[in-house]
Amino acid sequence: MQKYDNYIDGKFSQSKSGQIRKIMDPANGEQIATVPESTKEDMLIAIAAARKAFDHGPWRKTAALDRGKALFKIADGIRAKAKMLAEIETKNCGKPLPEAEYDVADAANCFEFYGGLATKIHGETMSVPANSISYVVREPVGVCGQIVPWNFPLLMASWKIAPALAAGNTVILKPSELTPMTALELAKIIHESGLPEGVVNIVSGPGVGAGEELAINKDVDKIAFTGGTATGRKIMTAATGNLKRVTLELGGKNPNIIFEDCDIEAAVDGALFGAFANQGEVCSAGSRLLVHKSVHKQIVDGMLAKISRIKLGHGLSEGTKMGPLISSDHREKVESYIKIGIDEGAKLICGGKRPTSADLSLGNFLEPTIFDHVKPTMRIAREEIFGPVLSVIPFSTEEEAIELANDSEYGLAAGIWTKNVVRAHRVSQALRAGIIWVNNYHPTFNEMPWGGYKQSGHGRELGLHGIEAYLEIKQININLDETPIGWY
């Protein structure tokens, strides 16, 4: 069994408190590792290390080309350990191995993308007023606190750390207390890459008691958070103490809209993948399936015909398509929504219960669940469930579909299924969401911005916009006229 350390100021260590946390495999309840159960004291040490590294260390003055090369080295390090990282991710999160392999490859690509971008952080020049030169430079924000959730641990850590480093910042990352293993493996890769001490600090511990210090502490210049909307709100409030920069990537109740002029087979596949990939534990999950009435039966029958292909099992077992939920508490939360759906009068057409086979009895498994004839006012149509529960809502017109889709406090992602290119553009522009997929669901690109409208978040990650969130803008004016101004 693996015993992990925190990574602070270039050194590996246990929590000052000596406390540890046992890490469990959610598929069978077996203990797979221990990690430090860090406290505020550990966090303060990490913040001081990141502050010192930013204010007095070499990193922010390192040539952009060399910062880029350092990120390429981290990408290489991830690729060299890809198999091991994917297996750990599967054991710790429950997700099927092919999904974990995809995440690990994407994490390496993310470091590579931002490694390339390090040399493309440009300024602007202007000649205002006459006889002067004015220019704009982009500089690192400073010390960045970063808090990530349990559904995509390595990938989320990479989305946070890579742009911050490319821009010349220093960071303290707190992984979820449930899934800290791959982030602590990433710490080893970063250490081996030779980054100066204190530039990256990775501290495992709970949100309340450790992570919250990153939002509160006045030596932290920016906080970047991915997780639930309720926690995001707390973080934003805590960050007002020193008005730190805040980016939030929060929840969603994303509409996946199937029009009557779609390719039915592709739409069925997209509906299932949108709802059930990663056990439905995805902020961008297509958990509201809006279906035109004329194809409603075909779509529902198509999904029911394929649902048995979503084989439950340990993520490392051959053929597994869906793993366990992250914890027994979380499974109970999802089950409570299934009860709410039944009580509210939605029609449960599949799933809704734990599997009965003996080999799955020790894990947090739940069958993929579909409710049909869901009314838009029902809680299962409005609240983020964050599990394998799909709500099917029929509609009659394009206008109604748009209205239903936008009738949400969230605005992260949306899917559109149609062969009509004009409709695809028209509906894409009408939807109030940060990510629109047409005839597809879930593809994510390091090159494209990620983030939501409304209560799905604040700011953007990934792409060129993602690095802007880690940069301050400074104007510098140089007077070329040496004559005294003679004002007085």
Q: Which is nearer to ligand NDP, 232 or 302 (CB)?
A: 232
Let me know if 400 is a catalytic residue. Answer: no
- Asked if residue 255 has a cis previous peptide bond (ω within 30° of 0), the answer is no
- Asked if residue 388 has a cis previous peptide bond (ω within 30° of 0), the answer is no
Q: Which is nearer to ligand NDP, 221 or 384 (CB)?
A: 384
- Measured from the CB of residue 233, what is the shortest distance to ligand NDP in angstroms? 10
Let me know if 283 is a catalytic residue. Answer: yes
Q: Which is nearer to ligand NDP, 259 or 386 (CB)?
A: 386
- Measured from the CB of residue 176, what is the shortest distance to ligand NDP in angstroms? 4
| Rounded CA separation 304/46 (Å) | 51
Q: Which of 275, 285, 46 is nearest to 147 (CA)?
A: 46
Chain centre distance of CA 121? 24
DSSP state of 474: E
DSSP 111-138: HHHHHHHGGG---EEE--STTEEEEEEE
- Measured from the CB of residue 334, what is the shortest distance to ligand NDP in angstroms? 8
- Measured from the CB of residue 417, what is the shortest distance to ligand NDP in angstroms? 24
DSSP state of 278: G
Residue nearest to ligand NDP (CB): 207
- Measured from the CB of residue 395, what is the shortest distance to ligand NDP in angstroms? 25
- CB proximity list for 257: less than 8 A, separation 6 or greater: 290, 401, 405, 414, 415, 416, 417, 427
| Rounded CA separation 271/366 (Å) | 18
- Residues making contact with ligand NDP (CB under 6 A): 147-151, 174, 176-177, 206-208, 211-212, 215, 226-228, 231, 234-235, 249-251, 283, 384, 386
Q: Exposed/middle/buried for 285, CB within 10 Å: 0-12, 13-18, 19+?
A: buried
Total H helices, total E strands in the chain? 15, 23
18: left (phi over 0), alpha (psi -120 to 50) or beta: left
Q: Which is nearer to ligand NDP, 72 or 102 (CB)?
A: 102
Of 37, 283, 335, 384, the catalytic one is 283
Q: Which is nearer to ligand NDP, 334 or 401 (CB)?
A: 334
- Measured from the CB of residue 217, what is the shortest distance to ligand NDP in angstroms? 11
Of 89, 212, 213, 249, the catalytic one is 249
Q: Which is nearer to ligand NDP, 236 or 349 (CB)?
A: 236
- Which residues carry out catalysis? 249, 283
